[in-house]
Structure 1
Amino acid sequence: MQPPVPSSSPILLNIGGKQYATTVETLTQREPDSMLAAMFSGRHTVARHPDTGMVFVDRDGKHFRHILNWLRDGAVPALSVSEYQQLLREAEYYQLLDLADCIDEKLGSEKAENSSGAELTRRDVIKCIQDRNHKVRFRGVNLSGLDLSMLDLSEVDFSDACIENTKFSCANLHKAKFRRVEATYSSFQSANLHECELIEANLEYSNLDKANLQSANLQDACLKDCSFIATDLHSSHLQGADLMDANFSGANLEGANFKGARLTGTNFQGANLQRAFLRELDLRSAHLTGAKLGGANLLGAIR
């Protein structure tokens, strides 16, 4: 939390290497529910370059001039179809829903068909989560191939959904429900999955590096070939999970429960397994070099 910047104060932005100057008023007034408005509302701490004071955003800088012109005067430029599609992606990323609607009209379509065949677009998801007067549910919905990175999806119910090759990187998924989802090849890198439910989820080949999975419930989940490098799984529930060839190197698994889990070829090198429940498990093919096992329950385990 930081004190709000006066609305007329200049803001220096570095968007993908291109530099822009604008004001807090421009970034917050026209679309107050957007990501840009949230960044400069004073509710969040925004990292700035120590020398220039610039705020860096890792997006395409070429189209950001159109974003600023929209925020200043509501103008939508005349562009080619391919350029409109590129601008639409930027508008959806910044959660500028009114701009996205105008671009759709320019393209002659109220709702673009997602190339992955998903039933919803990123913008549809954003519209749903902006209305927090009711619980958000995407049960059984096809969200495959969408980029849902950095969104606040806390407590959203994705049970039985298809989210294959979907990006949740850096998203807030606190207490979200992923029961029985099909989520192969998805990315949850650096996401907040604290206390989320992944019971019977199929996450094969997914990336969960550096994610927060403290107290998460992954019972009976398929986690084959998943990557959990440097992930925090403190007190997580992994009973009955298939962890074949999963990579937990450097992960925090203190107090995790592995009862009945399959650990064939699982990599625990350098992991913290202190006070973990590993009783009666076959650890012969698991890689435990450098793992911390102090206080772990290894009664009856085969090593």
Structure 2
Amino acid sequence: MLLATALAAGITATDVTTAAATALPGAARAGSTADTAVRASWPTVKSGQRGVDVATVQLLLTARGYTLTADGVFGSGTAAKVKAFQRAKHLTADGIVGPNTWTKLVMTVKSGSKGAAVKAVQRQLTDNGYAVTADGVFGSGTAAKVKAFQRAKHLTANGVVDVQTWAALVRGGGGTGGGGGKLSDAQAAARLRAAGITRSSSGNCTNRNNKNCTSLQDIRVRTVDGVIALKRKSGCRIVITGGTEVGHAGGTYSHWNGYKVDVARTSCVTNYIHGHSRKHHKRGDGAWVWRVTSGGRTVIDYADENWANHWDITYY
């Protein structure tokens, strides 16, 4: 019955039977060191949360025959479906998606696969900086993005999304955990420096409580990964001129909360943004916003603060 329901949801028979037969493929079989590492890496997703990890849970539940709207909001309906799935898999039916539930929920997808699970992979790829259309079809474009992601994460770059690749995807994006986590100034600086990205400030300092400094304290992982992706994709020299220090506008998606950075406005960066985003609207301060969307959701906003000679970039 579940197989028939999943087929109706658009998952191929191979995907469903492979996933059902192999909860932990390859090196990540239960009890192994790899299994322990994979299980420790999953984010916890539960009621009240929002974001791409929630949408991933919803899409995977749909692929498993527990149909839901993938709106990215973990409400009572999602909690009920999670509990039903957990009961069916003989897990603790607490409605919380932790490591044990994740490893039962994900399924292997690869070239030729179709359906909700593929759409979940595509949304996670975009959230990790590997933008791809979330059409639910695992074609050559998706395969190329998966391989690029796997190489970046030091996984076997075979284009097959197994449990280890799933874990890296949900851990590394900006969903509810993983990419939503925050870094110290030293951690963020080290990651950016390794990618060839520098920062500057008028005060030549990193104190978060000084508006003349450029601080990276408590910046989100997703934001750092986004800047690194900008460097990699554009080939431009990237200089961060504003981070999480005081002196910027407030709000949920603010500099202080780790969602934004200012990047020096060079012709290379500007040309890349104009060529890879859509001119969307003008802010109240006169800055034009260029937007990147995926699956109907905003992924990145580039605000052209040309009077300050930088791009104000928000990674959602």
Higher helix share: 2
TM-score normalized by the length of structure 1 = 0.26
TM-score (norm 2): 0.25
Greater strand percent: which structure? 2
